[in-house]
Amino acid sequence: MCLEEENFINDLIERKQSAYSKLIDSFQQKVFATCISFVPNKEDAEDIAQDVFVEVFNSIGKFKGNSKLSTWIYRITTNKCLEFIRKKNTKKRFAFMQSIMGNDVPMDKSKYFTEMNHPGIILENKEKSETLFLAINQLSEEQRAVFTLSKIDGMSNKEIGEVINKSVSSVESLMFRAKKNLQKILENFYKNEK
């Protein structure tokens, strides 16, 4: 860790306003871009990004400096996104169970995918984007994290390994399986569409 980053972290620990402003300026766009990569809904992504900064502010004292500050922030961001997706999936299962039991709670997918202007996703239209995100969300958490951080956030395997605490070879293996599984999911989807 360089002296400049060390001083910056000390300023954050001391809760200096200038350090917080610099942190937000430096990481706001990156954190939001990662959030919207995982959760393609502007309002939800903004809420998660806000939670990320609250977590960073509250736990900066626990930052040990074993990795770069940016890696630590990406790790928090990834975990918050996966936590949000887990909660959302639990709510969906609950709504599904309610509909089976007779308390019909229709789930309107179109309301969830409201914002698809993410620079990393230049797809022809909203429907293809929805299909891709639905497919990505069927991957295991680790595969989803690796695929999203690589293909949408443009991170190297080494950077991803630092974020999710895995070796480069583990990241490569997860990426290989993620691509294979996505291919299967999308093939099945398009077969069923015909």
Better pLDDT: 96 or 41: 41
Does one domain contain both 142 and 187? yes
Domain with 99 in it: 1-108
| CATH number of the domain residue 27 falls in | 1.10.1740.10
Among 80, 108, 136, the domain boundary falls at 108
Split into its structural domains, the chain has a count of: 2
Does one domain contain both 22 and 103? yes
Residue 96 has pLDDT above 70, yes or no: no
pLDDT of residue 149: 86
Residue 120 has pLDDT above 70, yes or no: no
As a whole number, mean pLDDT of residues 134-154 equals 83
Residue 110 has pLDDT above 80, yes or no: no
pLDDT of residue 31: 92
Does one domain contain both 74 and 164? no
As a whole number, mean pLDDT of residues 153-157 equals 84
77, 112, 191 from 194: Cα distances, Å: 38, 25, 6
Residue 114 has pLDDT above 70, yes or no: no
